[in-house]
């Protein structure tokens, strides 16, 4: 197997210079794939980026079906990936970006390994509508489970809408994602493991198991509630989540 550091460098360069790269030729174990992810993020931290939280992937049937993978995965988020609400992204900074509707959590306390949903909720400062811009670094957006894990779970950018208090029931909030004024994906927060709080519970467990427990101030993206949509130059994307409000961004050339 090629060195972890070699694969990490290849994937990091692919993300940094928006150049597609071939799928990994030799199969990795899931542990090796997460080691590659950590090493690739290590290169970002060395350039001054800071970890601000984690993203969950494949927490809904719609996402699993779209990509043909049915295991939950996670990736790291850095400050450089955050796009301001209403802001713009430059298409050229991506290989083949897609967008998906999510829910984000902001923590006010650290979260350790094994928790009940109410215990996880007690550590939540706020929740928000959120859009994730995923961008697989692999050609044609095709990958195996371990390929995508090594590639930081396709994590590329994320946009967070207004933070709201977590007092409301999150189990069945309507979600409408529009591109250029046309509803392209319609779903519910229920699609995310029955309730997105379960995604936070899983995030706490997986991050702690990896030796990087969730901290106060961390953001956790719960995973796409629907399939993702491909982006093109000129698109204006808006997500409306029932009771939580809207988040949006535009794609420029
Ligand atoms: C992998 C990332 C999955 C989600 O929300 O399910 C993900 C991909 O689809 O490229 O971010
Ligand atoms: Mg996602």
Please give the Cα distance from 77 to 80 (Å, whole number): 8
226 Cβ below 6 A of ligand 1: no
- The string of pLDDT tens digits covering residues 198-239 is 999 999 999 999 999 999 999 999 999 999 999 999 999 999
DSSP type of residue 153: G
d(CA 112, CA 110): 7
29 in Cβ contact with 7 (< 8 Å): no
Show me where the domains of the chain are located.
4-252
Distance from residue 44's CA to the centre of ligand 2 (Å): 20
For 97-134, the pLDDT digits (tens) are 999 999 999 999 999 888 999 999 999 999 999 999 99
Is the CB–ligand 1 distance for residue 153 below 6 Å? Answer: yes
Predicted TM-score (pTM) of this structure = 0.98
Q: What is the pLDDT of residues 40-96, one digit of tens each?
A: 999 999 999 999 999 999 999 999 999 999 999 999 999 999 999 999 999 999 999
The protein residue whose alpha carbon is closest to atom 9 in ligand 1 is 67
CB atoms within 10 A of CB 48: 9
In 3-state terms the chain splits into helix, strand, coil percentages (rounded to 5) of 30, 35, 35
Residue 111 to residue 105: CA distance in whole angstroms: 12
- Decide yes or no: CATH 3.50.50.60 for domain 4-252: no
Q: Taking a C-beta distance cutoff of 8 angstroms, is the pair 58, 155 a contact?
A: no
SS3 148: helix
> Strand, helix or coil at 162?
coil
67 lines ligand 1 (CB under 6 A): yes
147 lines ligand 1 (CB under 6 A): no
């Amino acid at each position: 197997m090629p060195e972890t550091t070699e694969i990490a460098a290849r994937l990091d360069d692919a993300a940094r210079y928006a150049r597609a790269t071939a799928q990994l030729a030799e199969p990795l174990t899931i542990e090796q794939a997460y080691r590659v992810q950590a090493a690739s993020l290590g290169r970002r931290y060395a350039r001054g980026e800071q970890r601000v939280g984690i993203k969950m992937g494949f927490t809904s049937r719609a996402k699993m079906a779209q990509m043909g993978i049915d295991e939950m995965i996670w990736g790291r988020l850095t400050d450089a990936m955050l796009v301001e609400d209403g802001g713009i992204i430059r298409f050229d900074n991506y290989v083949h970006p897609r967008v998906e509707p999510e829910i984000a959590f902001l923590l006010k306390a650290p979260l350790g390994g094994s928790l009940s949903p109410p215990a996880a909720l007690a550590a939540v400062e706020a929740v928000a509508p959120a859009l994730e811009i995923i961008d697989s670094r692999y050609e044609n957006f095709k990958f195996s489970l371990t390929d995508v894990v090594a590639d930081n779970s396709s994590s590329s950018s994320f946009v967070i809408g207004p933070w709201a208090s977590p007092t409301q029931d999150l189990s069945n909030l309507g979600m409408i994602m529009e591109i250029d004024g046309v509803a392209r994906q319609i779903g519910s927060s229920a699609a995310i493991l029955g309730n997105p709080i379960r995604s936070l519970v899983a995030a706490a467990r997986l991050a702690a198991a990896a030796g990087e427990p969730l901290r106060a101030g961390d953001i956790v993206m719960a995973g796409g509630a629907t399939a993702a949509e491909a982006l093109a130059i000129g698109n204006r994307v808006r997500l409306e989540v029932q009771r939580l409000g809207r988040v949006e961004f535009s794609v420029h050339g």
